[in-house]
Amino acid sequence: MTKRISTQGAEKRARELVEQMTIEERASQLRYDAPAIERLNIPAYNWWNEALHGVARAGTATMFPQAIGMAAMFDPDFLKEIADIIATEGRAKYNEFIKHNDHDIFKGLTFWSPNINIFRDPRWGRGHETYGEDPYLTGRLGVAFIQGLQGDGKYMKAAACAKHYAVHSGPEKLRHEFDAEVSKKDLWETYLPAFEDCVIEAKVESVMGAYNRTNGEPCCGSYTLLKNILRDKWKFEGHVVSDCWAIRDFHTKHLVTSTAPESAALALKAGCDLNCGNIYLHILQAFNEGLITEEDITRAAVRLFTTRIKLGMFDECEYDNIPYSVVDSKEHNEAALEAARKSLVLLKNDGILPLNKDRIKSIGVIGPNANSRLALKGNYYGTPSRYITLLEGIQDYLEGEDIRIYYAEGCQLAEERTSPLTMKSDRLSEALIVAKHSDLVILCLGLDETLEGEEMDTGNYTDSGDKVDLNLPAVQQELLEKVAATGKPVILVLTTGSAVNLDFADKNCRAVVQAWYPGARGGQAVAECLFGEFSPSGKLPVTFYSGSYELPEFTDYSMKNRTYRYIETEPLYPFGFGLTYSRVALRNLKVLNKVTRESDILLSIEIENIGDYDTDEVVQIYIKDNKSKFAVPNHSLCGFRRVSLKRGDSKTIEFKVLNKAMDIVDDVGNRYIDSDSFTIFAGISQPDRRSVELTGMKPLSVDISL
């Protein structure tokens, strides 16, 4: 492996370069749209680029499943490969853009991804940008994505950004003025661990501050978050960027400052180096008013040029010759298709799946997301050269077969879209006619970014991108109930980025497949899954609550009764749950070492495929502290492994559960081991009653005494 250029070496070069600049030139470089300094041969650079599940907003690129779908793979190794593909395409584009002297927005190498916020509340519209509700899973996947994006060469292949730091997960309509009040226990137990992993382990190059305040301080100007924790405690060496126009909120929404220069000064002195927005246009005014010093400006400029040097922007670089032909290539699209396959979660199957095409004469494909490209995308996406919708995937798969495929949209995505020219009754009656003429129905319901998304990007008519509740839009629920009432077998394929109320579907549909937003070729993956070309193997990275579950107040950031670690009732589909077409047996869970307060926990377990299909399975390890009053109420994920098993195969796999899995966080935020008694569980889902009921398989367990 090539030795990486050190941050210290790059910083030395950056400081030498910045020292040649005037104060005005240094200040100009703290904007996301940094201008050229021609006398120093420094080209213009726009820092704003996105790569959540493929290079976004910059034209053609391979589109992978939305982040929440990639989380459902429970596969950090593959996610790292995906991130490397994204970085490769980003480099290829950058190489061509600079040849054409194009330094515009979305053309650079600084990608503002991944989003590692905790998806604490299923109403949050941006939750599908995250890796789910669990800090451990989010940390493992965040580290993998960052390592893949940044690469292991002499220079960084691309610069990743962990966002939105910190304690950020809605409501979207309040984000510019909201104060997320959180206890120190919840802060250090839930909201910060993934950021800590990404900074300390993955060496993420950038961190983006959130819009909101946290415990009174605006996140992009928080001495607690940016200085005390990020720089002093975690020894972060990269640069900090504001969320876009977040610093403006200091004086217009949060009212912690009175003027734009005061806002610029607060952010800069707290440690926000780069402004996405326009408030750092007031940096020189803040300097002239004595609110900041020359060293404050210089420090930020040096950090930013350190990143550009680490990316090889001023040198010949090993990535300079990556050709444009890699963009949207066959190989990359095969990887996106494989990701879509691995992301699918089978929530219910009474035996109807996989479908046997030799026994079917007609299929009705019904629903507003059946032929929707937007339902493939999520948000923060690029432009694939080809889309395959759910309908198209089924049509392509059955081409040449003597099976009639009927199609009906059934209804609009939501009732707000219904117009006099497209009356819902007309669409509904057509759907019922299709169902009547079909042997079975594949019902394609769900959401898209216009119903769950970001405040400024969404067409949500109700709540600025957030969901009001967990119910499907009423027109879709009516469609579901009316189609189910026909008595025809119904397979529900759900394209959403979050949990929705599936109580009725669970009782009345023969099978339920959670497809997320599966990317450009998602329809092909779904069709192949339905007809048994592969066994589904995804797992839920979020809890699907029962319809009767009373969600806590959205603005309450306490973790009480939120997510699987703290839930006080029984979910419909638990975190970590997902069926396959096969069955596995787990045996011989063993602790391989003498566990002490200083040691990790080394485990081994045997897994055998005792079913009738080749399959992947995800073995999950959970830990429960049996004594400490500070322990989480339920149990915590502390290890997982995706395993591929041919029919009849068995494997012995080993786990290293890190010592910190035994830690608790007390009420003042201190983390330490506070118990001498733990239980380790190993299974294919959680060790809760509902998971056992759904999988028919009790987890193995072993007690550990220190």
Residue matched to tokens 């602790």: 591
Respond yes or no on whether the N-terminal peptide bond of residue 164 is cis (omega within 30° of 0): yes
User: How far is it, in rounded angstroms, from Cα 126 to Cα 505?
Assistant: 25
Q: Could you say which of 452, 455, 466, 663 is catalytic?
A: 452
Integer-rounded Cα radius of gyration of the chain: 26
Annotation says 463 is catalytic: no
Tokens of 515: 């497809």
Q: What angle do CA 123, 125, 129 make, to 5 degrees?
A: 120
Residue pair 525/538 in contact (Cβ under 8 Å)? The answer is no
User: How far is it, in rounded angstroms, from Cα 196 to Cα 193?
Assistant: 5
Look up residue 627 and give its DSSP letter.
S
Annotation says 243 is catalytic: yes
Tokens of 508: 């009345």
Cα separation values, 604 from 77, 82, 600, 642, Å: 20, 28, 13, 14
Per DSSP, the residues of 441-482 read: EEEEEE--TTTSS-TTT---SSSTTS-SSSSPPHHHHHHHHH
Backbone angles phi, psi at 345, to 5 degrees: -115, 120
Respond yes or no on whether the N-terminal peptide bond of residue 171 is cis (omega within 30° of 0): yes
Distance of CA 702 to the CA centre of its chain: 32
N-terminal to C-terminal alpha carbon distance within the chain: 39
Respond yes or no on whether the N-terminal peptide bond of residue 264 is cis (omega within 30° of 0): no
Respond yes or no on whether the N-terminal peptide bond of residue 473 is cis (omega within 30° of 0): no
Q: Which of 137, 66, 42 is nearest to 452 (CA)?
A: 66
Cα separation values, 176 from 171, 180, 212, 246, 456, Å: 10, 11, 6, 7, 12
Q: Could you say which of 243, 449, 455, 663 is catalytic?
A: 243
Which helix (H) or strand (E) segment holds residue 302: the answer is: helix 294-310
Tokens of 360: 């079917």
Centre a 10 Å sphere on the Cβ of residue 648 and count the other Cβ atoms it contains: 11
Residues near 286 by Cβ (< 8 Å), separated by ≥ 6? 261, 262, 264, 265, 268, 292
Active-site residue set: 243, 452
